[in-house]
A and B are shown apart, each in its own frame.
Chain A
Amino acid sequence: MTSSPAFARNLSSRVGPNAVLAAEGASVDRVAARAVVRPADRQQLSEVIRWATADGVRLYPRGGGVLSSLGNLPAQVDVILDLSGLNRIMDYQPADLTVTTEAGITLAALRRELVQGDKYVPLEAPRPDRATVGGILATGFSGPLRFSYGLPRDWTIGISVAGSDGSEARAGGRVVKNVTGYDLNKLYTGSLGTLGVIVEASFKLAPIQGTWAALAAPFPSISGAVAAAGALISQVYAPQGLQVVSRNIAARLGLDVPGDSGAVALAFISGRPRAASRRLEESARQLEAGGSPGGETLDESAATDLLARLTDLPWREEDLPFLALKVTLPPSNVGSLVAAMELPAGAGLIADPGFGTVHLLWWPPAEVGEPETDATLDLIDSARRNARNLGGAVAVEVCPPRIKAGADVWEGSVGEAELEIMRRIKRNFDPAGIFNPGRFVGRL
């Protein structure tokens, strides 16, 4: 291995000194990077990739770095590829409800542009001022509104990805309905940068209309809250998003929780005013019928603020949980999972009974100190057993590298026959193994 300065000099001579940033402190899961490259344009990105393929240099693509702890421990980080320079909006057609943008644009910047034409893109991300469209697509991130938004794959209509030879391959297009060729939008979305670098994407948009509001309804127990929320979500007046949070999570969100409550159901509601107010009233009534002593209504600004805090919660750098697990399972099993989970002191749950997602977030109390590795691995194992019994899978989204060293992030979550197809896809797309190697499912 060449030393980092020599490596960086070699790199500068290839791609120009301006694109090579200081690597000091830059790392992936605390594995220090040998260099950070920020291509100014697609041409430069292509050069870097060609060089990396030729020399077997491992590239770790990064947008805003908000979700960059997701993935298995890398063995060696050659280059962090900072894509924030590729941030142009290529084409925005409000009347067609479509937008095409480079992947390095932040979600906040994209939203600002779209609002000019009264449209929005149904994507969510923590820290939208930093999180990029490319990062959202690569991680397949979904937030508290996933019940109505679905996943990023559901809104992506076209994509352009720089492959191992540095050139871009496109799939899909700029029309909202398209079966011309294989739907590679689906393949790239959620592939964690392992098949190439997402350079550009086109999205279907939705018209902005009406107002936002939220309802926070306390419940004596989390099981009761999940059952009531599950009953609400199947109604025609269901809210756009419904999350049940345990008491300690509610406190972290700054909600006022009555003393005898074990959990709070949060319903996020939007729509034209009359429909929204009916959703709000019916949701409140239904949750009360399910055992809530009565909720508090939040107006648009409070609701928007709460939604942002809830989305950010597991990913705030200054207050990262010691451990964050995401369980995905059939929606009707959320209640059983929540009942089966054993939570250590300081751990809480965020459950989405409409979509079938449960997050376990753990901030061990200061007086307990850092948990032991073995005890943590046992906790992860037990979550995996519970999830598997209920037709689900676990991803370890946040944890210290010492824990990751002993736990595969997606262990056992994909069957061998499927994994074999995934391995072949990875091999065919990235024969030199340069794209985010070692980090994804099955260490792809």
Chain B
Amino acid sequence: MIFHPEDLLVYEYDGSVDRSMPRAVVLPANEDEVSRTLALAYREGVPVAGRGSGTGLSGGALAAPGGIQISFTRMNRILQVDTENRTATIEPGVINLDLDTHVRKFGMRYAPDPSSQKACSLGGNIAENAGGPHCLAYGTTTNHVLGMRVALEDGAMVNLGSGAREIPGYDLRGVFVGSEGTFGIATRITVRLLPLPETVKTFLGVFPDIDSACSAVSAVIGHGIVPAALEMIDALSIRAVQNVTDAGYPEDAGAVLLIELEGLWEEVDEVSREVESALWETGASDVRVAEEDSERERLWLGRKTAFGAFGTIAPNYYLVDGVVPRTRLTQVLRKVSEVSEKYGIIIANVFHAGDGNLHPCMLFDEREPGVKERAMAGAAELMEYCVEMGGSLSGEHGIGLEKKQFMPLVYTERDMDTMKLVRDAFAPANRLNPGKIFPDGESYEPALQRTPTQVDPGMYV
């Protein structure tokens, strides 16, 4: 257990802009310790938040005021890989990429691949229903979870699902995934694995501007092609990426598309030609094809390091996760550049174009007075616009704290009350991650504000 204030400092935040200091952090080694921690907290009336790796972007892992965190870094064992049923059973602290790397030895893979997959935990993936580039073809976390053992708010353990794909009764496992830690905490997880594809081919389509790249997205999908992944990277992001690594993206491009095809050799071969012609027809200035693993990895490296690379532009970022029907991408990206100008905020775009999941990334330096507020106002305007376009607030990061006030844009009181009926069945006392997702509930305003002090030019504490 951790309880000294200076040790707790790193548990005060996750990948989002919100902060909240836990009273203590418990690091259990097994399910029994999780259960006993919850039972004790329940008796004492202390709210609890589960925490995986703290990479979440919506404040899901932050402790409620006066609450504690249960951190799963010690529960990180892969318990079993069942090659016959193609499943793996794991503890919640297992890192997404570690699972994938491990099961590849058996000719299988774990499909959901969030950009933070090197760091994020599967327990956190379940809480947020995490996505990733390859969710275009294979679905998000919810499509890959077969069973869980879950600790409820009072410490009672319950099994949701089993090793079977179909389970009788209400689909508690399905509604649990993505409940952002408010229903219970998964302590043991069984996921579905997929066989490795026979052929993988990655394309880099280079475009002079965002508009032509957007029309290429529509053209590909319009051809009846659903690639394994279809990602867009704009000019600003290309420059940021090339600042830190050579991913081979042309620095003068207006946007690039990263498209991956998988399947039988015959399918990939045939679809490849259609993809290539769709890219040329919509104005690509260059189309590169990578078939060797090393070439493909280099192209993906740029995509996966983009958010880190933004650090070379500005120290802070706020990521909008809006999702729109994919035919609206052009319009929404125009809106993004309007918002950028209106609020004077640099916005970079690296996102899952194939499923319409935008990631406008507001880049700023929070030490500059008022800039964070401007970034948040711009983000709000973008979220509203996504909803107006028939879309939604979040495609894969969750609502948590930072988007909860926007829920009424999408749902009526009646809709949200109905959702709460489910929470009240799992956690009648609402002790798990209280005050998140819905606009009512406790406020997470930090008790104390820290102000940066300059110690040397460009250095702050």
Give me the interface of A with B, judged by CB distance under 8 Å. Answer: 93, 95-98, 118, 140, 142, 146, 150-151, 153-154, 161, 163, 167-171, 173-187, 189-191, 195, 206-209, 234-237, 271-272, 274-275, 278-279, 328-332, 355-357, 391-393, 395, 410, 413-415, 417-419, 421-422, 424-425, 427-429, 440-442
**17 pairs, A vs B, C-beta closer than 8 Å:** A93-B325, A95-B218, A140-B166, A142-B166, A154-B143, A169-B418, A171-B415, A177-B352, A177-B396, A179-B128, A180-B392, A184-B418, A184-B422, A187-B175, A332-B84, A356-B166, A391-B162
Q: Say if the beta carbon of B142 comes within 8 Å of chain A.
A: yes
Query: Which one, B167, B226, B357, contacts A177 given CB within 8 A?
Result: B357
Q: Which residues of A contact B84 (CB under 8 A)?
A: 331-332
Question: Nearest-CB distance from A114 to chain B (Å)?
Answer: 13
Question: Nearest-CB distance from A118 to chain B (Å)?
Answer: 6
**Do A415 and B175 have beta carbons less than 8 Å apart?**
no
Within 8 A of A (CB), among B318-374: 323-327, 352, 355-357
**Do B179 and A180 have beta carbons less than 8 Å apart?**
no
Task: Mark B397-421 against chain A: 1 for CB-CB distance below 8 A, else 0.
Answer: 1110001000100111011111101
Task: Mark B239-271 against chain A: 1 for CB-CB distance below 8 A, else 0.
Answer: 000000000000000000000000110110111
Residue of A nearest to B177 (CB): A183
A165 to B29: give the CA distance in the assembly, Å.
46
**Do B356 and A177 have beta carbons less than 8 Å apart?**
yes
**Do A181 and B421 have beta carbons less than 8 Å apart?**
no
**Do A395 and B163 have beta carbons less than 8 Å apart?**
no
A184 to B368: give the CA distance in the assembly, Å.
42
With A96-B326, A417-B158: A183-B129 Cβ-Cβ less than 8 Å: yes
**Do A234 and B195 have beta carbons less than 8 Å apart?**
yes
Q: Which residues of A contact B179 (CB under 8 A)?
A: 182-183
Q: Which residues of A contact B414 (CB under 8 A)?
A: 167-169
Q: Which 4 A-B pairs have the closest CB atoms?
A: A186-B174, A207-B224, A424-B425, A169-B418
A419 to B160: give the CA distance in the assembly, Å.
10
**Do A275 and B175 have beta carbons less than 8 Å apart?**
no
A210 to B411: give the CA distance in the assembly, Å.
40
Task: Mark B161-184 against chain A: 1 for CB-CB distance below 8 A, else 0.
Answer: 011111111111011011100000
**Do B419 and A184 have beta carbons less than 8 Å apart?**
yes
**Do B327 and A150 have beta carbons less than 8 Å apart?**
no
**Do B135 and A177 have beta carbons less than 8 Å apart?**
yes
**Do B129 and A179 have beta carbons less than 8 Å apart?**
yes
A191 to B168: give the CA distance in the assembly, Å.
9
Task: Mark B414-448 against chain A: 1 for CB-CB distance below 8 A, else 0.
Answer: 11111101111110100000000100000000000
**Do B168 and A441 have beta carbons less than 8 Å apart?**
yes
A125 to B165: give the CA distance in the assembly, Å.
19
Q: Say if the beta carbon of B390 comes within 8 Å of chain A.
A: yes
With A95-B222, A418-B159, A421-B158: A410-B169 Cβ-Cβ less than 8 Å: yes
Q: Which residues of A contact B174 (CB under 8 A)?
A: 153, 183, 185-187, 189
Question: Nearest-CB distance from B246 to chain A (Å)?
Answer: 31
Residue of B nearest to A442 (CB): B169
Question: Nearest-CB distance from A302 to chain B (Å)?
Answer: 23
Q: Which residues of B contact A180 (CB under 8 A)?
A: 392-394, 399, 403, 407, 410-411
**Do A414 and B323 have beta carbons less than 8 Å apart?**
no
**Do A98 and B325 have beta carbons less than 8 Å apart?**
yes
Question: Nearest-CB distance from A272 to chain B (Å)?
Answer: 5
With A184-B175, A187-B171: A175-B419 Cβ-Cβ less than 8 Å: no
Q: Say if the beta carbon of B456 comes within 8 Å of chain A.
A: no
With A180-B394, A182-B423, A418-B160: A190-B170 Cβ-Cβ less than 8 Å: yes
**Do B168 and A393 have beta carbons less than 8 Å apart?**
yes
Query: Which one, A391, A410, A413, contacts B163 given CB within 8 A?
Result: A391
Q: Say if the beta carbon of B295 comes within 8 Å of chain A.
A: no
Q: In this complex, which of A118, A177, A274 has the most chain B Cβ atoms within 10 angstroms of its Cβ?
A: A177
Query: Which one, B169, B407, B410, B425, contacts A441 given CB within 8 A?
Result: B169
Q: Which residues of A contact B226 (CB under 8 A)?
A: 97, 206-207
With A96-B326, A170-B411: A178-B425 Cβ-Cβ less than 8 Å: no
Q: Which residues of B contact A237 (CB under 8 A)?
A: 198, 264
Question: Nearest-CB distance from A359 to chain B (Å)?
Answer: 12
**Do B424 and A424 have beta carbons less than 8 Å apart?**
yes
Question: Nearest-CB distance from A332 to chain B (Å)?
Answer: 4
Query: Which one, B142, B165, B172, B394, contacts A422 given CB within 8 A?
Result: B172
A136 to B175: give the CA distance in the assembly, Å.
19
**Do B418 and A275 have beta carbons less than 8 Å apart?**
no
Q: In this complex, which of B158, B174, B218, B423 has the most chain A Cβ atoms within 10 angstroms of its Cβ?
A: B174
Q: Which residues of A contact B270 (CB under 8 A)?
A: 272, 274-275
Q: Say if the beta carbon of B41 comes within 8 Å of chain A.
A: no
Q: Say if the beta carbon of B314 comes within 8 Å of chain A.
A: no
Query: Which one, B167, B395, B411, contacts A181 given CB within 8 A?
Result: B411
Question: Nearest-CB distance from B409 to chain A (Å)?
Answer: 9
A151 to B411: give the CA distance in the assembly, Å.
26
Question: Nearest-CB distance from A155 to chain B (Å)?
Answer: 10
Residue of A nearest to B163 (CB): A330
Task: Mark B271-297 against chain A: 1 for CB-CB distance below 8 A, else 0.
Answer: 100000000000000000000000000
Q: Which residues of B contact A422 (CB under 8 A)?
A: 169-170, 172
With A93-B327, A236-B195, A415-B159: A179-B178 Cβ-Cβ less than 8 Å: yes
Q: Say if the beta carbon of B80 comes within 8 Å of chain A.
A: no
A183 to B415: give the CA distance in the assembly, Å.
12
**Do A178 and B395 have beta carbons less than 8 Å apart?**
yes
Q: Which residues of B contact A185 (CB under 8 A)?
A: 174
**Do A181 and B218 have beta carbons less than 8 Å apart?**
no
**Do B169 and A417 have beta carbons less than 8 Å apart?**
no
Residue of A nearest to B219 (CB): A95
Q: In this complex, which of B271, B395, B396 has the most chain A Cβ atoms within 10 angstroms of its Cβ?
A: B395
Task: Mark B304-323 against chain A: 1 for CB-CB distance below 8 A, else 0.
Answer: 00000000000000000001
Residue of B nearest to A326 (CB): B166
**Do B224 and A177 have beta carbons less than 8 Å apart?**
no
Q: Which residues of B contact A176 (CB under 8 A)?
A: 323, 326, 355-356
Question: Nearest-CB distance from A192 to chain B (Å)?
Answer: 9
Q: Which residues of B contact A189 (CB under 8 A)?
A: 171, 174
With A175-B324, A184-B418: A328-B391 Cβ-Cβ less than 8 Å: no
A363 to B416: give the CA distance in the assembly, Å.
48
Q: Say if the beta carbon of B45 comes within 8 Å of chain A.
A: no
A128 to B63: give the CA distance in the assembly, Å.
50
Q: Which residues of B contact A391 (CB under 8 A)?
A: 162-164
